[in-house]
Amino acid sequence: MFIENNPEDKIYRDLIDLAFDICDEFILVVRRDMDISDNMNNVLEKLKPFLKEVKEQFEWPGTITLYEQPALVYYYSTDNNAKEILKQATNSLHEWLQPHLPEDLCFIKNSKPWLINTSHERLSYILTEDKEDIDRIIKIKGLKIKL
């Protein structure tokens, strides 16, 4: 299910709410070859209580890097407090870009990518065959989905 528009404002918040209801984990990516802003550090600091682990990776959902150094992929639990932090950090799914924010906010359901977001390419899609998930996604007013 390709997301054909950039979920912003209420659409973004509704999508985040749904992802937290359905998924058990989300990730954010920090690339070592780019600067990190104070705002980005602030968001990472606020999310620390929900951090499960950090891995050095050359790939994550939607991305395979060709960089010399691996990126840091932060894995978080989907806690309601973390949800509010993501909703306060930005009003747009595609604004998860370094240096202002960590990159590529993605959601994982049962160890499998569910919402894949490659912010710098403005490309987002949802991988699910669950009819209930699909029904709930389609009900997000203003979210343009291509099946």
For residue range 79-124, list pLDDT tens digits in order: 999 999 999 999 999 999 999 999 999 999 999 999 999 988 999 9
| Distances, alpha carbon 119 to alpha carbons 50, 61, 70, 72, 80, in Å | 22, 12, 18, 16, 23
Whole-angstrom distance, CA of residue 7 vs CA of residue 144: 9
Locate the domains of the chain by residue range. 2-146
Q: Which regions of 61-122 does DSSP assign to beta strands (E)?
A: 63-64, 71-77, 103-109, 112-118
Residues 6 or more apart from 113 whose CB is under 8 A from it?
Answer: 61, 62, 106, 107, 127
Whole-angstrom distance, CA of residue 142 vs CA of residue 8: 9
Element (H, E) at 51: strand 51-57
pLDDT at residue 73 tops 80? yes
pTM (two decimals): 0.94
